[in-house]
Structure 1
Amino acid sequence: MSDSGFIGEVAAVGVAGQALIDADSDVEAVAQWLAEYGESPQTQRAYRREAERLLLWLDAEGRRLGEVDRQCLARFEAFLADPVPRAQWVGPTKPRHDPAWRPMRGPLSPASRRQSLVILQGMFSWLVEAGWVAHNPFRLMRDKSRRLNNQAPRVERYLEQPLWEWFWRWLHRPLPSDSSRACFERARQRIIFAFAYLLAPRISEMAGAQMGDFHRREGRWWWQVVGKGGKLAHVPVPDDFLVYLAQWRKTLGLAPLPEHEESTPLLRALDGKRAIGDNQLYRLIRKSFKDAARALEEQEGETAYVAALQSATPHWLRHTAITHQAQAGVSLRYLAESARHSRLETTSRYLHTEAQQWHDEQQRHRLSQAPSLDGL
């Protein structure tokens, strides 16, 4: 891959039809679509990744966006499942300007392929409205309702309650060393996971959190956050979080609870002062999950739980937090408020109670002579 950047990677192409946007190439048209998400940096980065993959693949195919048809989409989806030649498309994480950079880390899972197509479907809808392409090829897909419906299936990427409880105990294991650095890193690790589990933030919201975002109003503590789409929200802070916040602040040499408008970072680098960015926070969380997976494997823990920890990403924490709140009986209305979902349908994906009740009811249907599992 060239290191000339996204714009330089794909050749300029002509406009299909009467464009309503000021663009001279597919790349410029897509850049204008991405600019619509400027107030949601995380969303913008995710959408940029999917659009970039498509544009680079089309460039290799010698096609333009306006030439994408149903058969082309089928080939692209097959490519996402098996990106060949691998040397051209697959590689480890590198800076975008590095010659060794590749657009993919490996084949995409069915869920990731589906998400990619959902994003690109929206991109094509915008490009049709902008007059850049004449049609949206996704509308020709017969199985569109199965794969491209924005109503995603029930959330499954979360840590089940027993696994989370084991993981939380693991975070409180004895320190291998009583050095100041080891104590700092353990305290930071605990506040990261307490924050993620108790308040269900997105990773950008965690990295950007300030001490003063936690404030008391009429005797109760709230977390003020500007989330996805630039929406301001105030989320109730559980008392358990205040315990770990106080412990973290003690590690930093601060008073137990934040002062009014205390404009310093919540999560900090090893110097105890500088903030940490999204990428560093992502790596810290992933490392914790992988370390925990190795520890559980050494304890000969359940194989499925070891695999879950090995696969877990920071966003699993948000899923875990919302799912466990639902299982604890938090009502759908308040669950949606805490998760800051714009639609209740999104929150309902985290409700597993019906499935559990269905499973319990199904146990009424029995075989008269069936032995018990305990006896096998």
Structure 2
Amino acid sequence: MVAESKSMSKAMPTTVSAHIVANSDAQAVEQWLKEYTASAQTFRAYRKEAERLLLWLDAQRLSLASVDRRRLDEFEGFLTNPLPAEQWVGPPRPRSHPDWRPFRCPLTAASRRQSLIILQGLFSWLVEAGWVAHNPFRLMRDKRRRLDNRQEEIERYLERPLWDWLWQWLNRPLEESASSRAHFLWRRRRLIFGFAYLLAPRISEMASARMGDFFCREGRWWWRVIGKGDKLASIPVPADMLTLLGEWREHLGLTALPEADESGSVLRGLNGKRSLGDNQLYRLIKMSFKEAAQEIEIDEGGAVFAQTLRKATPHWLRHTAITHQAQAGIELRYLAKTARHSRLDTTARYLHTEADEWQRQLAAHQLESRRL
């Protein structure tokens, strides 16, 4: 699960009595990761953060037991700017690929918080397991600020005018001479962005979606999804999504509506059968954002929109979907069900109505000279 190296393979300090069977830091982390094998998504996320820490420790010739308050600050700085970049940063690759790198880019403040939250849990477990003597996270004076992953409101989304432009751009008709391959890619990209916007899935949920996950009950269509924390949910399917799905299925030579227990993937490769992986889907969306940015930059006043599209990630589509649903007046309880949030205050970050009203009312507060 986690690669071994010289420093990672150091034995546990003799001052600590271990309660797990492990001979190295890497093996101890593997024991921790086994607690999360029930959820593939959580397992991958936790492995990624633990692996970054172990690789950094290896580069510093350190072990988990040597991580103290000072080292924790150094590691947080490393997450902000992993150097040398050629050693740490690179495009998505399979973990077995020689060009695989642990970072796609330096981590944002939100991503650093998430990383530290996960690693705080790792060290708590390692202390209980007797592998390390203390948890350095407990010494953080500003721990609440650093590890509180909640924000006042979601800002990483496409505002309505930009989304409307993007959707129109995605729907531009192809030239009459377009190849069958071009038609396939055009329809698949429309489905990807429509799926992301209408149902607010996570990337992994979209990639793993099967045709049989769409089902009809008492005349209404639903999408069955196993999401974060291995939780099962059913989400209402809007008419626009059903239309997009039907057009895509007919292009694949299938019936317009999914049949019960149909096993094929929703999103497929060029052969029309092979499913898309998380990384491939991520790259397709990022490439679309890049192409759209180049297109809108040509338009007058499009520079700001282009800048937004260039920094957007696929997860922004989920934020965009939930934010626009909130702006459309969908009740908080239903937003939470669509987003599959366990806490209403998490969903409430998508509510911008109060901020808009605050701006409107404060606009009446002006300098006297402007009223003359």
Match of 1:139 in 2: 138
Superposed CA RMSD: 2.1
Displacement, 1:102?
3.2
Match of 2:268 in 1: 268
Alpha-carbon separation, structure 1, partners of 2:301 and 2:34: 47
> Secondary structure at the residue paired with 1:178?
coil
Displacement, 1:201?
0.9
> Secondary structure at the residue paired with 1:155?
coil
Match of 1:326 in 2: 326
Query: Which portions of structure 1, spanning 4 or more consecutive aligned residues, are displaced by more than 6 angstroms?
Result: none
Match of 2:45 in 1: 46
Displacement, 1:199?
0.5
Alpha-carbon separation, structure 2, partners of 1:371 and 1:44: 60
Q: Percent identity?
A: 62
Displacement, 1:41?
2.1
Displacement, 1:87?
4.0
> Secondary structure at the residue paired with 2:368?
coil
Alpha-carbon separation, structure 2, partners of 1:267 and 1:97: 24
1:81/1:109 contact within 8 Å kept: yes
1:93/1:101 contact within 8 Å kept: yes
The residue type equivalent to 1:111 in the other structure is A
Q: TM-score, normalised by structure 1?
A: 0.92
Match of 1:343 in 2: 343
Q: Is the deviation greater in 359-368 or in 110-119?
A: 110-119
The residue type equivalent to 2:331 in the other structure is S
- Alpha-carbon spacing, 1:51–1:330, altered in 2? closer, same or farther (3 Å): same
Match of 1:11 in 2: 8
Match of 1:29 in 2: 28
Displacement, 1:10?
4.6
**Is 1:238–2:238 an aligned residue pair?**
yes
Q: TM-score, normalised by structure 2?
A: 0.93
Match of 2:82 in 1: 83
Alpha-carbon separation, structure 2, partners of 1:282 and 1:261: 27
The residue type equivalent to 2:49 in the other structure is E
1:20/1:131 contact within 8 Å kept: yes
- Alpha-carbon spacing, 1:153–1:137, altered in 2? closer, same or farther (3 Å): farther
Alpha-carbon separation, structure 2, partners of 1:246 and 1:325: 23
Match of 1:227 in 2: 227
2:7/2:61 contact within 8 Å kept: no
Alpha-carbon separation, structure 2, partners of 1:304 and 1:118: 33
Equivalent pairs, count? 369
Displacement, 1:352?
1.7
- Structure 1 unmatched ranges of 5 or more: none
The residue type equivalent to 1:359 in the other structure is Q
- Alpha-carbon spacing, 1:347–1:191, altered in 2? closer, same or farther (3 Å): same
2:2/2:51 contact within 8 Å kept: no
1:182-240 residue CA offsets vs partner (Å, 9 max, x unmatched): 11111111111111111011111111111111111011111111112221111111111
- Structure 2 unmatched ranges of 5 or more: none
2:2/2:26 contact within 8 Å kept: no
- Alpha-carbon spacing, 1:186–1:213, altered in 2? closer, same or farther (3 Å): same
> Secondary structure at the residue paired with 1:366?
coil
Displacement, 1:312?
1.6
1:347-366 residue CA offsets vs partner (Å, 9 max, x unmatched): 12222222212111211211
**Is 1:204–2:204 an aligned residue pair?**
yes
Alpha-carbon separation, structure 2, partners of 1:47 and 1:10: 21
